[in-house]
Structure 1
Amino acid sequence: MPEHKPAIHIERFNESHVEGITALYNDPAVTRQVLQMPFQATEIWRKRLMPDNERVVQLVALHQGVVIGNLGLENYSRIRRSHAGNVGMAVAVAWQGKGVGSALLAAALDVADNWMNLHRVELSVYADNEAAIGLYRKFGFETEGLFRDYAVRDGQWVDTLSMARLRNRPKA
């Protein structure tokens, strides 16, 4: 019998998602894989809505109206970096490995390629987050470097990888 995939809906982050986003990033298992601080207030996420900045696209993944993932894509404002953007995302632990990250990343890269005309999309990921690294590779991201002792997590210094996806670049 084929496995039923739950319906995942992607939409732009708005005021109705603020509490769900706050809950997502306040989950300790999520917090330890992103650069957000624990115990954030909803007001922090309300301020991040930035409705007048078209260089920032913030998406949420929803299942039955509940926030299960978030992705932010920011196009750099400096003129010599305007061909590039940065992406960061989080997926609720119970939803990891179920297509949420793929749905968010596919939607963001569609915007990056077809609406923002970005040539380069960059990200950093903890070097031990093999699931996320595998997802990024699936979408054409390649490792460009290692940042040693990049961030503190659980009281320990951890390394991150710098990864990027270049659109229309011939394969090596």
Structure 2
Amino acid sequence: MNEAIRIRHAEPVDAGGLYTLFSERGAYAGTLQPPFPSLAAWQNALADLPKHIVQLVAIDDHGALVGGAGFEVFQNPRRRHAANLGMAVAQSRQAQGIGAQLLQAVIDTAERWHGVRRLELEVYTDNAPGIALYERHGFVREGIARGYALRDGDYVDVHLMARHAPATSA
């Protein structure tokens, strides 16, 4: 598919699209989002998003929301150089480069506009496509957290991964 994908900051009007995205089994099984999300929760979150949280969306050329990615810059003074990210792409739109576009937009926004030097994430150890995507964008595996999260009745492991921003020239 050669359709144009537009990445932009999420707006309150995107609540329905994010609700639909995170209602997909693949999205809540692959992230820490709970199943059966609330539309009202997405509406409330987008209506009053704190300045240290950035939520981006991927919109296709038909105007459909096909992915979302966000990051939260830590507020502890000793960790303000770091942020944690999460993302999901609609199941029907995976393996089309949307995740790569979203991830690159997150990296650029976090590093170039929020001063993030360390971007962290957790990815399930059985998510080979996700791990490969992150590694292509400079993330490295720093460890495994055993029994990290409950997923469909089982406690599963995650890779702890991080990307360190390149040193800037003075």
**Shorter-chain TM-score category?**
over 0.9
Q: What is the CA–CA distance in structure 1 between the aligned matches of 2:105 and 2:48, rounded to whole Å?
A: 19
Q: What is the CA–CA distance in structure 2 between the aligned matches of 1:82 and 1:129, rounded to whole Å?
A: 28
User: What secondary structure is seen at the aligned counterpart in 1 of 2:30?
Assistant: coil
TM-score by length of 1: 0.92
Q: What is the CA–CA distance in structure 2 between the aligned matches of 1:19 and 1:28, rounded to whole Å?
A: 16
Aligned AA (1:76)? F
Structure 1 residues 147-166: aligned runs within 5 Å = 147-166=145-164
User: What's the CA shift for 1:51?
Assistant: 3.9
User: CA deviation digits over 1:39-75, x for unaligned, max 9?
Assistant: 1111111122264622111000011211110001111
Structure 1 residues 11-30: aligned runs within 5 Å = 11-30=8-27
Aligned residues: 166
Identity %: 39
Change (3 A) 1:24 1:74: same
Q: Check conservation: 2:12, 2:47, Cα contact below 8 A.
A: no
1:48 aligns with 2:15: no
Partner in structure 1 of residue 107 of structure 2: 109
User: What secondary structure is seen at the aligned counterpart in 2 of 1:11?
Assistant: strand
Partner in structure 2 of residue 88 of structure 1: 86
Partner in structure 2 of residue 168 of structure 1: 166
Q: Check conservation: 2:57, 2:65, Cα contact below 8 A.
A: yes
Ranges in structure 2 where 5+ consecutive residues have no aligned partner: none
Aligned AA (1:159)? D
User: What's the CA shift for 1:90?
Assistant: 0.6
Partner in structure 1 of residue 29 of structure 2: 32
Ranges in structure 1 where 5+ consecutive residues have no aligned partner: none
The structure 2 residue matched to 1:75, chosen from 51, 70, 73, is: 73
TM-score by length of 2: 0.93
User: What's the CA shift for 1:136?
Assistant: 0.3
Partner in structure 1 of residue 96 of structure 2: 98
